[in-house]
Amino acid sequence: MPKYLDLFAGAGGLSEGFIQADYTPIAHVEMDKAACFTLKTRTAFHWLNANGMLSVYNRYLKGEITRDELYDAVPGEILNSVLNYEISEESLSEIFGKIDYLLNGDQLDLIVGGPPCQAYSLVGRARSESKMIGDSRNYLYKLYAEFLKKYKPGFFVFENVTGLLSAKDEDGSFHFQNMQRLFSEYGYSTEYKVLNASDYGVLQNRKRIILIGKFGIGEKDYYPVIPHVNYPNVKVAEVLEDLPSLYAGEGSYTPVKTRHYEGTYLYEMKIKDYDRQEVTFHIARPHTQQDLEIYKIVVSAWNKNKTRIEYQNLPDALRTHQNTTAFLDRFKVVAKELPYSQTVVAHVSRDGHYYIHPDIKQNRSLTPREVARLQTFPDNYYFESTKGIPGRTAAYKQIGNAVPVHLAYSVACALKGYFKEWRRNGCA
């Protein structure tokens, strides 16, 4: 099985897709402490599942044992593969040392990951007076390249927002071209495509750059064919309708049983394992009365006329924001009749206005579990906080920042055939 390193790992959406495709993670490097606990808990899940001890994990989800007790049931070297570091020039040496220990002399086949996207995103640049020019996050790719220089894997997969293609440096050059030039200096050819997650079974309109690097200068036309996964009769309702109904402020972090499900999509996407499976984090935000009134207007307009309500068209009494010229679709229903939803982003951690549930009776924004399903996270995926006390905000942030699992799985499957040749030819 190909061995890979996950950089800027977040909560592990990209990594989970590669694990589902039978790759072996050597290490995950992530600076956010809560996300690292999520990665550790998921690492514990995979080990317990492989060793016939899943009952321990289920006891943890039910609150019967603590996080420390869960981790005590797993070998320390398994959990120690999650490295809680900010990747910087100062930390590189220490990170390399820990990865070297985990590799134990073996060859690394692949590096995956993408630096935080805020400095490249169009929305981030629109909100920034400096247009994010000079932001230190623009240059994290240089640190990514240091891992390529040291470990020389056969391939790497670099994921980021499409805004990267137009993001400029202070001298007017394009970051993406500078990035490709640096990767070339370190011995890699690069090819990229803009992939939409909706073409790979994900019920979400989410376009991302997937750049694939191959060791060797002058390599061409190696970008794998990644077959589209289409479910023409499946709509967004598929990820919502077997979950228990909730009003704003209701729900549970601990497992609740889902309703009977007659479809196949959730099984084929590896979201659901069996009928009436229990899920965690199906807990809705409380909302102000004003927001609830807006939600009803937005959902009603969609359900009756299939129209979106822009902010300036709300009743005067409900418009309290001074900005009435930008981000006018800030209140938006996740339409169950459509084949995909709007893009899930980390802003969902701040409010749920852009992700309103389509059932006007429930009158609320989506729960973390509903958002996680739009990102194709398995229902048994648990999202941690720093203190071991579950929280919506940390979960929303991690989910919103993640790569959709099944998009990652599709890329991983398409790449997999290359690694037999890479190993057979003696690696680098």
Secondary-structure breakdown of the chain: helix, strand, coil percentages, each rounded to the nearest 5: 40, 15, 45
Amino acid making up residue 131: K
Same structural domain, 148 and 176: yes
Residue from 109, 116, 134, 335 nearest 240 by CA: 335
Domain of 38, in residue numbers: 3-227+404-424
172: CATH: 3.40.50.150
Looking at residue 168, its pLDDT comes to 85
Same structural domain, 209 and 295: no
Same structural domain, 13 and 113: yes
User: Of the ranges 103-107, 167-171, 222-226, which one carries the lowest mean pLDDT score?
Assistant: 167-171
Looking at residue 286, its pLDDT comes to 97
Give yes or no: 117 in active site: yes
Stretch 37-55: mean pLDDT, rounded? Answer: 98
Looking at residue 122, its pLDDT comes to 46
346: CATH: 3.90.120
Give residue 116's pLDDT band: very low, low, confident or very high (50, 70, 90): confident
Determine what percent of the chain is predicted with pLDDT higher than 90.
84
Same structural domain, 278 and 200: no
Looking at residue 408, its pLDDT comes to 98
* Rounded Cα–Cα distance for residues 77 and 74 (Å): 9
Looking at residue 360, its pLDDT comes to 97
**What pLDDT digit, counting tens, does each position of 126-135 carry?**
444 544 444 5
Looking at residue 131, its pLDDT comes to 46
Same structural domain, 96 and 206: yes
* Rounded Cα–Cα distance for residues 279 and 273 (Å): 11
The single residue of 36, 117, 413, 427 carrying the catalytic annotation is: 117
pLDDT at 82 over 50: yes
Give residue 172's pLDDT band: very low, low, confident or very high (50, 70, 90): confident
Q: Which residues contact 342 (CB under 8 A, 6 or more apart)?
A: 204, 205, 332, 334, 354, 355
User: Of the ranges 39-48, 177-186, 319-328, which one carries the lowest mean pLDDT score?
Assistant: 319-328
Same structural domain, 116 and 30: yes
Same structural domain, 374 and 396: yes
35 membership: H or E segment, kind and range = helix 33-50
Same structural domain, 334 and 219: no
* Rounded Cα–Cα distance for residues 414 and 421 (Å): 14
pLDDT at 137 over 80: no
Mean residue pLDDT of the chain comes to 92
Q: Which residues contact 360 (CB under 8 A, 6 or more apart)?
A: 296, 299, 300, 303
Give residue 386's pLDDT band: very low, low, confident or very high (50, 70, 90): very high
Same structural domain, 85 and 214: yes
Looking at residue 126, its pLDDT comes to 43
Q: How many domains does the chain have?
A: 2
Residue from 375, 340, 370 nearest 356 by CA: 370
pLDDT at 37 over 60: yes
pLDDT at 428 over 80: no
**What pLDDT digit, counting tens, does each position of 350-367 carry?**
999 999 999 999 999 999
**What pLDDT digit, counting tens, does each position of 194-232 carry?**
999 999 999 999 999 999 999 999 999 999 999 999 899
Q: Which residue has the higher pLDDT, 56 or 118?
A: 56
**What pLDDT digit, counting tens, does each position of 297-347 carry?**
999 999 999 999 988 889 988 988 766 666 668 899 999 999 999 999 999
pTM of the model: 0.93
- Give the number of C-alpha atoms closer than 13 A to the C-alpha of residue 11, restricted to the C-beta side: 27
- Kindly give the residue spans of alpha helices, DSSP state H, lying in 62-137: 67-72, 76-79, 92-103, 122-127
Cα 230 to the chain's mean position, in Å?
Answer: 20
Looking at residue 167, its pLDDT comes to 86
Looking at residue 328, its pLDDT comes to 66
Same structural domain, 217 and 120: yes
Same structural domain, 393 and 413: no
Looking at residue 132, its pLDDT comes to 45
Sign of the C-alpha dihedral computed for residues 120, 126, 129 and 131 taken in this order: positive
Same structural domain, 137 and 264: no
